[in-house]
A and B are shown apart, each in its own frame.
Chain A
Amino acid sequence: MDGFYGGYGLVGLLLLVGVLFVTVAFVANGLLRPTVPGGDKTVTYECGVDPVGEGWAQNHIRYYVFAYLYVVFAVDAIYLFPWATVFAAPGFGAATLVEMFVFIGFLAVGLLYAWKKGVLSWV
């Protein structure tokens, strides 16, 4: 279990064991329990209250900004990883360090704009 594939093989094996564990548990559960379907059991559980209307509500567009901010900062974060492995390496100097802060600076302006416009408050 050495090397690149060995390491990920171990992860895959663990994943497989996890899936198998859940499958076996649910199948055993299904075989052992009594099955009496029907009636109120099929109704969506909503804190003991009868559900009203459909299970679909349209959200306000302002929540889109939160999803979009997440995308922007996820893209930002994935550039931090390769940067962190090289900025101290020989051949890369203070310029590399500054370049990342310029990148983050631009995004910080966006965050500041969002904050100033008041879209960050969860209403």
Chain B
Amino acid sequence: MTVEVLFGLLGVVATGSALLVVTTRQMVHAALWLVVTLGAVAGCYLLLSAEFVAWVQVLIYIGAVVVLLLFGLMLTRAPIGASVDLDASMAQRLAAAVVAGATAGVLVVSLVDAFRGEHIALETDRPRGHSSAVGAALFRDWVLPFEVLSVLLLAALVGAIVLSRRDVSEPAERGVT
């Protein structure tokens, strides 16, 4: 019972802070609200005994992706104060609300249809989300996607280096910020 209540509360926190991410006019605040959203989702994973995924969420999404976002803000000319030009027109807001509602609808319907009230025991000796369960699935069935992922990361890294190198090799543009 406690788990259900906590899950609901974390869901409310996640939804509320997600709304603040898209409604705040301060870009940096949006990135920081995203930390709250992702943290609440990590808490939800933890309550579902998906321990490994929860800590991956903290490490990768809160730790790395938000840092990347903040770096992105620091590299662009984004002002630190409120940006008025972030305001969307009423039509855009309506379109965004329709798209978000439709996406939520698809997710809820497909999840309800897939599980049909199936009960999964959460607390066992070795939870389903334990890292050994993830490791067994990864190295037994999903080895090729795992290796392909390293190529993807390599390609993205090389791309990032090439993009940032171009500025370094043009001394005329140095100092122009």
A residues whose Cβ falls under 8 Å from a Cβ of B: 3-5, 8, 54-65, 67-72, 74-79, 81-87, 89, 91-92, 96, 99, 102-107, 109-110, 113-114, 117, 119
Contacts and interface: CB of A to CB of B under 8 A. Distances in A.
A114 B162 CA distance: 9
B134 A82 contact: yes
Given A5-B123, A86-B132, A99-B146, A64 B156 contact: no
A69 B68 CA distance: 10
Contacts of A89: 132, 136
Q: Which 10 A-B pairs rank lowest in CB-CB distance, beginning with the nearest?
A: A82-B135, A106-B150, A86-B135, A85-B132, A110-B157, A56-B80, A67-B71, A71-B64, A82-B134, A103-B150
Contact of B67 (A56, A70, A75, A103): A70
A15 to B, nearest CB: 11
Chain B contact residues, majority secondary structure? helix
A44 B58 CA distance: 32
Contact of A65 (B64, B67, B161): B161
A93 B161 CA distance: 36
Contact of B76 (A58, A105, A117): A58
B56 interface: yes
A61 B51 CA distance: 36
Interface string B138-174: 1110010011011101101110110111011000000
Contacts of B51: 4
